[in-house]
Amino acid sequence: MDLGAIDLDHTLGCGQVFRWRKEGGLWTGVVDGHLVRLRQKGKRIDAETELPEGRLRSYFRADDDLEAILKEISRDAYVRRLVDRYRGLRLIRQDPWECSASFILATYSNIPRIKMMIERVCTSFGTDAGGGVFAFPRPEQIIENEPGAENCGLGFRCGRFVAFARQVEAKQVDFDDLRAAGYQDAHARLVELEGIGDKVADCIAVFSLDHLDAFPIDVRIKRALAERYGASGSYRRVSEFARRHFGRYCGYSQEYIYYAEDMKNRKPGPEQA
C-alpha cells in the first residue's frame, strides 16, 4: 500500500500516539476498533487489517504533501537538520475522542506510566480487537461501568477522564464543529472543558482535528525553544512565536522537535523505535 512518503518507525514511535507496538518489524495497533498490522517494505507498507483502506490512508494523512510541508517548516538550520534526520515522520489523524481522552490522561506524568494507564483503561472498558489487543473504549463503555475507572491508577486524572467521557457521550462536545472551526476558535472552546488546558487543547487540535497550525508546548518543547530561539515566557507568548516562526504547518515542526528532544532521553534497546 502507498501511504505517501512515510517512515513507520518515526511516525508511530515519535510520541504522537501511545498504543502502537513494534515486534520483530511488525507494528500492531488499533484504529477505530480494528486491529491493524503494518510492516515497512521500503517505500511501501504491507497492511493486514479489516479497516477500510480509505480510513487507513486518512489516519496516516496520506494526502498531505509531506515534501511541501517539510519545505515550508524548514526555516532554520535546526529544523532543517531534524527534517533531514527524521524524514518520513508524518503527523497522524487520530480519532478525536481517543486522542482527547489519552492526552487528558497524559498530564503531569511520564511516558511509561501514560502507556500503562491507557492500557488499563483499554483492558478494563474496551472491546477485544483480537491479537491480544483491546480497542480504546467508547465513551458509553466507560459510563456503563464508571466505578471501574478507580482501578486504573489514573490518580487525580480519574475524575477528569470520566467527566470528559460523560460530556462526549452527552454530545456536549462536537468534534466536527471543532474541526470545522479555525484553530484559535477550536482552542478557545477546548480549554473550557475540565482537564483540558492550553497544551492538551493543542495536542487534540493538531493530532485529531486537522489544525496543523496548533503547536503543543510541553516542558521539552519549551526548553528547546528557549535554548534554540530564546523564546520564553507564557504559553501564549511562546505559542505565538512558534506560529510566527514556523508558519501554518508549525504543528509538523513541533513533532520533529519533540521527537528529537525525546530521543536524547531514550535508552538504547533492541527495539529502538
Partner DNA sequence: AACCAGGTCTCGA
Partner DNA sequence: TCGAGACCTGGT
The whole-angstrom distance between residue 66's C-alpha and the CA centroid of its chain comes to 17
CB nearer to DNA: give 107 or 124: 107
Cα 101 to Cα 117: distance, rounded to the nearest angstrom = 11
Packed helices 198-208 and 235-246: angle between N→C axes, nearest 10 degrees: 30
Q: How far is CA 215 from CA 33, 67, 86, 89, 254, in A?
A: 28, 20, 19, 16, 6
Minimum gap (Å) between residue 252 Cβ and DNA = 12
CB nearer to DNA: give 28 or 239: 239
Minimum gap (Å) between residue 233 Cβ and DNA = 5
Q: How far is CA 19 from CA 98, 134, 135, 263, in A?
A: 11, 10, 10, 18
CB nearer to DNA: give 36 or 114: 114
Minimum gap (Å) between residue 209 Cβ and DNA = 15
CB nearer to DNA: give 134 or 258: 258
Q: How far is CA 113 from CA 5, 18, 109, 211, in A?
A: 32, 11, 7, 28
Interface contacts to DNA, rule CB under 7 A: 14-16, 106-114, 116, 153-157, 160, 191, 193-201, 203, 216, 218-221, 233-234, 236-237, 254-255, 258, 265
Minimum gap (Å) between residue 247 Cβ and DNA = 18
